[in-house]
Amino acid sequence: MRRDVSELTNKLDIEKISSLLDIPEHSITGALKRKTIQYVYGKHELFRFDKPVSSVEGGTAVFLEPFEIVRGFPKISRTLMLYPALIKHFSSCDKVAVEEKMNGYNVRVALIGDKLVALTRGGFICPYTTQKVNDLIGPDFFHDHPELVLCGEMVGPDSPYVPKIFYNIESLDFFVFDIREKNSGNPVPVMERRKLMDEFRIKSVHLFGEFEVEKAHDAITDIIKGFGDTLREGVVIKDPKMILPPVKYTSSLSNCADLRYAFEFYNDFGRDFFFGRVCREAFQSVEWDEDEESARKRCQELGESILLPMISTIKKKKNGERIAENVQLRVKSLKTITEFEEFLKLLGIDAVFEQPEMIGNEFLVRIKKIHQSTNDKTEMILGGHMWS
């Protein structure tokens, strides 16, 4: 629904938001004009921050009825060189907490009025995730703590965004890695957060342990090497008090898996995925002091992750196939599917939904997400067009 800015400004109590988020009023009005803050209408009326505005994270959602602010999930910096980064970044801590970085999609769950809603990273309410979260999390936690937001990773095969089978999760599960206050976004300390989740029988991401900063490097290197050829993604290293921002560090194997995915749909994702991931491999090789054989093996794996999926995509297109990503959802009610279809349209994602299949008392729905840019580019080049 299109609204002009003056109508939107009437809806928003700009003074209140400005004071709660501690940003100047003109930043908010300016962002509304530039559509950096966007109005979204559905079961809930909300304004979402498409990008950061002053110091407030992108993905922030301001709900109107009732008035609630759920802050966007902050970006986590990545280290490529573990040892010096740990020493430099966590110098003021005695210890760091090392948690598993699970590979799924980021979800914030909050109570808005009497409804539990699940927000994606971008600050949209995803109807599928909201339904799953309502099945997974009982009302008790939010009954006692309506002012808190659960931030976690949605992981498993029945995932519309990041499907992964290697965690042995049957459908989709939610693992909390952060609890933050509404409005301020202030985090709860690591052990307090984990204890709280245990009390309410809500799952947390795995904790590898708390380590003295000086010893954390060896521990983390062992953890990452210990992942072996499983695709576990990596770790997030945290100040136990959650005062300093966390840092992430990931494995080469999951890095290559991301590249294989990105280069299957090379013209949609390849460019964004490429440079940073190549750099990670180079620094890790040096930090691990690899001999020539190990370094060559790394090069070969990196190269294969980039070229093989792309070659396969080109061949598929040459055989007249449409390049699409297969994902699946599992729901109790088909209404969730209809809502999710609408939601993908709102996001501008092109998808083909197949007929639902009954599995036990649930429906499994397969979806083909069409990555148009890769389809178009490949077809053009195969047809003799120039690259640029």
Angle at 15 between CA 143 and CA 243, to 5 degrees: 55
The HSE-up count of residue 308 (CA atoms within 13 Å, CB side) is: 11
Q: Is 177 in the site for ligand ATP (CB under 6 A)?
A: yes
Cβ-based nearer residue to ligand ATP, 101 or 132: 101
Which of 48, 89, 101, 277 binds ligand ATP (CB under 6 A)? It is 101
Nearest to 126 by CA among 343, 331, 367, 338: 343
Out of 49, 73, 90, 269, the residue judged to bind ligand ATP by CB under 6 A: 73
Largest Cα–Cα distance of the chain, in whole Å?
A: 65
- C-beta closer to ligand ATP: residue 232 or 317: 232
Sole binder of ligand ATP in the list 46, 72, 86, 99 (CB under 6 A): 99
The residue (of 101 and 371) whose beta carbon lies closer to ligand ATP is 101
Q: Which of 11, 16, 24, 76 forms a contact with ligand ATP (CB under 6 A)? A: 76
Asked if 106 touches ligand ATP (CB under 6 A), the answer is: yes
Between 101 and 180, whose beta carbon lies closer to ligand ATP?
101
Distance CA 151, CA 106 (A): 7
Residue 76 or 243: which CB sits closer to ligand ATP? 76
Among 3, 145, 217, 248, binds ligand ATP (CB under 6 A): 248
Q: What's the burial of 270, exposed, middle or buried (CB within 10 Å: 0-12/13-18/19+)?
A: middle
Tell me the closest approach of the beta carbon of residue 320 to ligand ATP, in angstroms. Answer: 34
Least distance to ligand ATP, CB of residue 261, Å: 13
Q: Which pairs count as long-range contacts for 65-69, CB under 8 Å and 24+ apart, including other chains?
A: 65/113, 66/112, 66/113, 67/13, 67/16, 68/110, 68/112, 68/182, 69/17, 69/20, 69/21, 69/182, 69/183
Which of the stretches 11-19, 68-76, 318-326, 357-365 binds ligand ATP when contact is defined by CB under 6 A? 68-76
Site string for ligand ATP, 2-41 (x = CB under 6 A): ----------------------------------------
Total residues contacting ligand ATP by CB under 6 A comes to 13
Q: Binders of ligand ATP among 183-212, rule CB under 6 A?
A: 205
C-alpha angle with apex 256: 253 to 261, nearest 5 degrees? 130
**Nearest alpha carbon to residue 73 among 21, 99, 108, 125:** 108
Of the candidates 40, 62, 8, 13, the one whose C-alpha atom is nearest the C-alpha of residue 183 is 62
CA distances from 2 to 5, 39, 40, 43, 239 (A): 10, 8, 9, 17, 43
Residue 337 contacts ligand ATP per CB under 6 A: no
Amino acid at 218: D
Q: Is 153 in the site for ligand ATP (CB under 6 A)?
A: yes
Of 338, 348, 344, nearest in space to 373 by CA: 348
Quick one: which of 8, 98, 102, 117 contacts ligand ATP (CB under 6 A)?
102
Interface with ligand ATP, residue 236, by CB under 6 A: yes
Calpha distance 248→235 (Å, rounded): 6
118 in contact with ligand ATP (CB under 6 A): no
Is residue 71 close enough to count as binding ligand ATP by CB under 6 A? no
In this complex, which beta carbon is closest to ligand ATP, that of residue 70 or of residue 205?
A: 205
Rounded distance between C-alpha atoms, residue 382 and residue 214, angstroms: 55
269 lies in the binding site for ligand ATP (CB under 6 A)? no
CB 291 within 8 A of CB 89: no
* Cα distance between residue 60 and residue 53, in whole Å: 9
**β-pairing, 77-78 with 247-250?**
parallel
Least distance CB 106 / ligand ATP (angstroms):
3
Coil, strand or helix at 276: helix
Instruction: Please report how close the Cβ of residue 145 comes to ligand ATP at its closest, in angstroms.
Output: 20
Single out the segment in contact with ligand ATP by CB under 6 A; choices: 17-25, 93-101, 325-333, 366-374: 93-101
Whole-number minimum distance, CB 158 to ligand ATP, in Å? 18
Specify which residues 110 forms β-bridges with: 117
Q: Give the nearest residue (CB) to ligand ATP.
A: 106
Applying CB under 6 A, which residues contact ligand ATP? 73, 75-76, 99-102, 106, 153, 177, 205, 236, 248
